Structure 1
Amino acid sequence: MFNLAKTAILMAVITALFIFVGGVLGGGQGLIIAFLLAVGMNFFSYWNSDKMVLRMVGANPVDESNYPKYYQMVRELSQKAGLPMPKVYIIEEDAPNAFATGRNPENAAVAATTGILSILTERELRGVMAHELSHVKHRDILISTIAATMAGAISSLANFAMFFSPKDSEGRSNPIAGILVMFLAPLAASLIQMTISRAREYEADRGGGEISGDPEALAMALRKIENYVKGIPFQAIEEHPAVAQMMIMNPLSAGGLRGLFSTHPDTEERVRKLLQMSKTGIYPN
């Protein structure tokens, strides 16, 4: 089961990693600068995460007049979940996917691609939107955005190791430390981001099954989305890969290191848990 304390610890670790890299590259001064940057990025992400992500993927707001069934579905599921009505967005994109964003349930947004609306039945789409509203209900939509921001920043900071050799305590150049930071820091950040995201997806599947009352529908939707998403590129996510972890299904190619460090759990394992929940009423650990 998703553990908020565990996620908070992981977020603290990824922030500490950013500060550590700053210290390795710039000594005491670098440590202070990295700390101030980390505080600033977390603060900025808190207030602007939804706007940043929605702009990146080209999402447009919709209402009952232009997407009545989709909008009414989100409203009905929100009421069932005891949530305020989120803002509803559509992404003109053939790749089937959906996500939720925002800093809290009062300032949340859900978005779906035109592709997912076209391939799923109404029952399956209900399961998907219930999954996204579960992210909202558990208040983990902000965590994923901050994790993505910090992971990207660590990778950018580590790139400086290519141009600025770190100094040891006596001010001497230490190229070995630079090489280690350049490769290991982004790797560690990816592992932490992956751990946070995978835990979130399992919990959102469970919560989505509860909100919709139909975990089997979500299981069917996940299988169908996976079959389509492999062959249809999601251009906006290819350009902003850090956002991939927020989607209900990883839209990036699973080849090479991307597959090894996938931010999403195995689809068949997600389906297995949901089908068991459908039979027994209990989501397995």
Structure 2
Amino acid sequence: MDFFTAQDHARRKTGRLVVLMVLAVLALIAVTTLAITIALHLMGEQSATQTNLSAQGMWSALSIELVTGVAIAVLAVVVLGGLFKRSQLRRGGRVVAEALGGREINLNTRDADERRILNVVEEMAIASGTPVPSVYVLEEESINAFAAGYQTNDAVIGITRGTIRNLTRDELQGVVAHEFSHILHGDMRLNMRLISILHGILIIGLLGGTLLRSMRFRRVGGGKRDNSGAVVLALGAALMLIGYAGTFFGNLIKSAVSRQREYLADASAVQFTRNPKGIGNALVKIGSHSQGSHLQATQAAEFSHLFFGQGVRQGFSQMMATHPPLKDRIKRVMPDWNGRFEVSVNGNQNWPSQQAENDATEPEGNGERSEAEPRFGSGTATGTGAMAAVLTGASAQTAINTMGQPDQRHLNQARATLDALPERIKIAAHEPHAARALIYSLLLSQDKTMRQHQLKALHQVALPDVYRALMDYGPEMLRLDVQLRLPLIELALPALRSLSVEQAQHFRLCMERLIEADGQVSLFEWTLYQLLLSNIGQQGSGPANLKLNDLQRECQLLLTVLATAGQDDPVEISAALNAAESELPFSLRATVDISDMRALSLAVERLRRLKPLHKPALLQAMARCIEHSGRILPAEAELFRAMADILDCPMPPLLSDEA
């Protein structure tokens, strides 16, 4: 299943789940109405010597007003409960990780285990074209992991201490690739919505439990003819049972959906890493581990469908299990498995640890350089050797075709990219102050006079520590190879997301000062600003319900910007637009004003609302636009991938012909 089909499938499945949950709520309304009718009938019979529970007596207590009142009350409780839970989860995956007792891993940690998992996550993110997610560690000895969040810019990866201690690097790659599949294919958002919906239904049961506990302070049976306490007790018990019955059926739906998606994520992990034994052996180790994949966190049951393995002990039936049987999963990825859960003799001593040790080294001193103009050199670009490549139209087509399904080639490219980045710059990208300085340096002009003007404007508003870091890293950053800029931004995102609301607003102000310093906004400046805004600005784009034909003007503007980015010749620009037009169901106008960057921002916001199955045509048109000459320049490739990211389309790295 390709990326866009998977996204559309997840969106449609969300709709079907809502229908099923509505049916569950209607059943709750019916049962609750029956319970209240019985209670009212019993209270009406308090003065009678015998209680009459005949059908005729029950029917007489039923009324339209009662049914309407119960329906409104149940709907209000379910909806408000769901909205309350949704508001709790509005910060995305961080809320889930913290609720499970997770701790965010310091990006410059010296712990070898934590350094290893950060390296794996960074490689996977760059290989798949997604922003690098924050990583949380759960201090549990079991082997488990999860991905949580609504979209890629608020996603987190959670992993237990037992996982990073007991698995080899290849096995960690398999587990992390499995979780990235959930992120890329829309499972993560679907799972978050399920949490809110199920919580709304559970509220009824919680109210019943509260009502029962209140009876401890009330004397039941004040007299022979007073059975109101017993009635309230019965009503509370009925409500609790009704609520938990609704949750039971809700969990059945959740479990069925989760089991199917786990098989798909296992298969995607194998395709990503090209190593079935990676994820297969990780599953075998779960079976041989004393703790298995079970978590001790009190809220593990609520989030059970998010985990890599069965997070809570299943009940009386496999029907309630959120994951397929462990042996079935292993057999699917390793058909030649002997069926035995054997503990590795080497335990946790069989990882390669060199990389972790290298990444945990002390960063070079920041140096107390003067706040005046740094010595910006014009030497060779940093990292050019490993990244030099010829990109053609085939490169763009491969990237589009492998969206959501990256493979070993993209993982190798990600490793080469991380190796090409200077070590000092990589370490700086993990620290909030230095990460802001790196972004500021990307916005500095190559022209010395203009750069001095920008630095003067920034010095008036920037934090002193950040400005000093800019003076330190600026010269090296100006020589950075153009193909390394986008991966560096992705690498810095976790540190930038850790900024407080006030710090993020100040960061945005400083970027705007740098961009406005020369009186005009370049395409790169606009792209960088929009990219960061979409990943750390927590802005929504609305529902994805628009068709390509509804956005002809927006497509025209975006494609014209791409066409003019690679050449100035009007004939070449026209040829690029003609190539793009061949992929669209409508014609493109000859000219359009592209000087208004605000109009471009509004156009992109509208384009983000395209239906999943309408996005491939736009991406194909973008690809045709930049490769019409038969060759893609590095700057065009960077712009193409950045635009795809802004449009919520995670684009893997473009591979050279040699790759």
Alignment TM-score > 0.5, same fold? yes
Amino acid at match of 2:70: G
State the distance in 2 between where 1:179 and 1:119 align. Answer: 42
The 3 A distance-change label for structure 1 pair 104 and 155 is same
The 3 A distance-change label for structure 1 pair 229 and 86 is farther
Q: Does 1:247 align with 2:307?
A: yes
Q: Does 1:227 align with 2:297?
A: no
- The aligned counterpart of 1:170 is none
- The aligned counterpart of 2:172 is 125
State the distance in 1 between where 2:79 and 2:247 align. Answer: 20
- The aligned counterpart of 1:99 is 146
Taking the TM superposition and a 5 Å limit, the aligned residue runs for 1:195-210 are: 195-210=256-271
- TM-score by length of structure 1 reads 0.80
Amino acid at match of 2:311: P
Question: Is 2:191–2:305's contact at 8 Å kept on the other side of the alignment?
Answer: yes
- The aligned counterpart of 1:150 is 197
The 3 A distance-change label for structure 1 pair 234 and 117 is same
Taking the TM superposition and a 5 Å limit, the aligned residue runs for 1:263-274 are: 263-274=322-333
Deviations 1:65-109, CA, capped at 9 Å, x for gaps? 333221111111111222111111212221111111111012211
The 3 A distance-change label for structure 1 pair 153 and 227 is farther
Match of 2:16 among 2, 9, 12: 9
The 3 A distance-change label for structure 1 pair 179 and 73 is closer
Partner SS for 1:48: coil
Question: Is 2:103–2:137's contact at 8 Å kept on the other side of the alignment?
Answer: yes
- The aligned counterpart of 1:256 is 316
The 3 A distance-change label for structure 1 pair 183 and 97 is closer
- Of the two, which has the highest radius of gyration? 2
The 3 A distance-change label for structure 1 pair 111 and 183 is closer
Let me know the Cα RMSD of the aligned residues: 3.3
Match of 2:185 among 134, 138, 142: 138
- The aligned counterpart of 2:93 is 50
Deviations 1:117-163, CA, capped at 9 Å, x for gaps? 11111111110011111111112112213313432442341354575
Q: 91-100 or 37-46: which moved more?
A: 37-46
Query: Where is the strand percentage greater, Structure 1 or Structure 2?
Result: 1
State the distance in 1 between where 2:17 and 2:272 align. Answer: 27
Using the aligned pairs only, state the percent identity. 24
The 3 A distance-change label for structure 1 pair 122 and 72 is same
State the distance in 2 between where 1:180 and 1:88 align. Answer: 38
Query: Where is the helix percentage greater, Structure 1 or Structure 2?
Result: 1
- TM-score by length of structure 2 reads 0.37
Q: 88-97 or 226-235: which moved more?
A: 226-235
Deviations 1:5-47, CA, capped at 9 Å, x for gaps? 2343124422552465357535232144146426624742662
State the distance in 1 between where 2:29 and 2:124 align. Answer: 44
Match of 1:21 among 14, 25, 28: 28
Amino acid at match of 1:251: G
Q: Does 1:87 align with 2:134?
A: yes
- The aligned counterpart of 1:167 is none
The 3 A distance-change label for structure 1 pair 42 and 233 is closer
Match of 1:61 among 104, 118, 139: 104
Amino acid at match of 1:235: Q
Gaps of 5+ in 2: 33-68, 213-231, 337-659
Deviations 1:185-221, CA, capped at 9 Å, x for gaps? 2221111111121122112112222222223311111
Partner SS for 1:242: coil
Question: Is 1:201–1:265's contact at 8 Å kept on the other side of the alignment?
Answer: yes
State the distance in 2 between where 1:44 and 1:223 align. Answer: 38
Partner SS for 1:241: coil
How far the C-alpha of 1:182 sits from its partner, in A, is 4.9
State the distance in 2 between where 1:42 and 1:29 align. Answer: 20
Runs of 4+ in 1 over 4 A off after TM superposition: 159-164, 173-180, 229-233
Partner SS for 2:90: helix
The 3 A distance-change label for structure 1 pair 191 and 255 is closer
State the distance in 1 between where 2:319 and 2:291 align. Answer: 16
Taking the TM superposition and a 5 Å limit, the aligned residue runs for 1:148-187 are: 148-158=195-205, 160=207, 181-182=242-243, 184-187=245-248
Report the count of equivalent residues.
268
State the distance in 2 between where 1:52 and 1:229 align. Answer: 29
Structure with bigger RCO (C-alpha 8 Å, 6+ apart): 1
State the distance in 1 between where 2:90 and 2:270 align. Answer: 30
How far the C-alpha of 1:112 sits from its partner, in A, is 0.9
Question: Is 2:203–2:243's contact at 8 Å kept on the other side of the alignment?
Answer: no
Question: Is 2:102–2:158's contact at 8 Å kept on the other side of the alignment?
Answer: yes
Match of 2:161 among 107, 110, 114: 114
Deviations 1:210-252, CA, capped at 9 Å, x for gaps? 222223311111121232164685221x444112221101132
Question: Is 2:77–2:203's contact at 8 Å kept on the other side of the alignment?
Answer: no
Partner SS for 2:303: helix
The 3 A distance-change label for structure 1 pair 199 and 38 is farther
Amino acid at match of 1:14: M
Question: Is 1:23–1:34's contact at 8 Å kept on the other side of the alignment?
Answer: no
